Amino acid sequence: MSRSTDDTNSNHPGEQQLLLIRHGQSTANASGVWQGQLDFPLSEEGRRQAATAGRALKGTKISGVYASPLARAFETAEIVAREADFSGEVIPMPGLAERHGGVLEGHTWAEQEARDPEFAEKFLALPEEERWAFAAAETDEEILERFEGALSKIRSRHPVPDGAIVVVTHGGVMRAFLRDRFGPSVLPGHKRTPNASITRLLYDPADPNAAPRLLELASTSHLSREEERQTRTE
């Protein structure tokens, strides 16, 4: 998935560019397990994806790198920072963590259906915004309060734009945030941003309450280029 809504390579003097990166593939992603706030490491594929995302940012001036403290996101951020030649520390931000998934955590959907078919049927019949409370998970409202609070705190640390701000987080919280900011059509159905994709937002630092502009949504072009490069060299 990739959608460009502006010239992502042009300079935007006086504006604050924030790059939202979903973590690379985790071992739970690879096996279809719903992670939530359970801690799973990156798979080898996830580490490769993170390195590719970092190389895609090489040459980009970066003013800071922030990440969810969950291992799959924090390790992704460390790899991205290293490959992008960012010399500063990765700063953990608890507000960037994934949605607490309630009874969904730690199971595949097939396991949920086998364990409690009545729950699974009812869950799927509910509108998305009602499912989370039914599963004893964090609601979108709860997610947005902490996630947007974390982004606001991060942005306040860089009042004078001096390079892109990199934020490594999770598919569930990114989905809630992007749909709230830009409408449900931005990620329709059950779509999430892919692993190691890059979403570019542009903020006006002079107006902390202004909505961001969406420059690019969930770009994975860097992953495709890397696959093509590997094919040519094998």
Give Cα 151 distance to the centre of its chain. 12
Of 15, 44, 45, 98, the catalytic one is: 98
Q: Which two tokens stand for residue 38?
A: 């359970």
What's at 232, amino acid-wise? R
Instruction: Provide the b/e sequence for 94-118 (b: ≥16 CB within 10 Å).
Output: ebbbbbbbbbbbebeeeebbeeeee
Query: Catalytic: 98?
Result: yes
Angle (CA) 191 38 112, round 5°: 65
Of 23, 100, 170, 222, the catalytic one is: 23
Closest by CA position to 166, among listed 15, 64, 23:
64
Cα 4 to Cα 10, 127, 186, 193, 231: the distances in Å are: 13, 29, 12, 14, 26
Q: Cα–Cα distance between 146 and 77 in angstroms, integer?
A: 20
Query: Catalytic: 12?
Result: no
The catalytic residue positions are 23, 98
